[in-house]
Homo-oligomer: A and B are copies of this chain.
Amino acid sequence: MRVDELHHPTGRVLVVVCDKGEEPISMIGGALHRHALRAGRVTAVGGFREADVGWFDPERDDYRRIPVREQVEVLSLLGDVAARDGEPVLHAHAVLGRSDGSTVGGHLLRAQVWPTLEVIVTEVAPELAKRVDPETGLALIGDPRR
């Protein structure tokens, strides 16, 4: 499976600013749903009071959860939006910076924002479609012709 195809910007850019204490995955997901934005690029910077990130364990076909229980800078939140069964799915990875500048990161599972998270989503079309990969059980962006 390989996708290598041209898409187009739709002219929609969604800006989501999460406030203190808010959970960004559900906030961004809700905004994507409300605006029916099903394909795009996601970037964000800001800060978290705490977060859980994940590393996908090929032995267990599941994420190993890595808890981060301290105030961190969101150095990079990068990802994409694709559709599964017509609903937008956010796939976001994060690099977090501790008080000494050391970093920790993974697939972003959940977080608590503090003091802000500034998210920019730029839409592309046509829709990017996810399908379930039989080997891992993960929903991956796939070739719609297969």
| A140 touches B (CB below 8 Å) | yes
Q: How many residues of A contact B (CB 8 A)?
A: 79
| A85 touches B (CB below 8 Å) | no
Residue on B with the closest CB to A16? B4
A 55-99 binary contact with B (CB < 8 Å = 1; else 0): 111100000101010010111111110100000000111110111
Cross-interface CB contact of A104 among B9, B14, B54, B103, cutoff 8 Å = B103
| A111 touches B (CB below 8 Å) | no
Instruction: Decide: B15 and A2 in contact? CB cutoff 8 A.
Output: no
- Copies of this protein chain in the complex: 3
| A38 touches B (CB below 8 Å) | no
Instruction: Decide: B19 and A1 in contact? CB cutoff 8 A.
Output: yes
Contact A114:B58 (CB < 8 A) given known A13-B8, A34-B4, A105-B73:
yes
Instruction: Decide: A55 and B105 in contact? CB cutoff 8 A.
Output: no
Chain A 115-146 interface residues, beta-carbon cutoff 8 Å to B = 115-116, 118, 120, 122, 124, 128, 133, 135-136, 138, 140-143
Contact A106:B43 (CB < 8 A) given known A17-B140, A80-B118:
no
10 more contacts with CB within 8 A, not counting A58-B71, A58-B114, are A1-B17, A6-B14, A7-B12, A8-B11, A8-B12, A53-B97, A55-B71, A68-B101, A73-B93, A78-B78
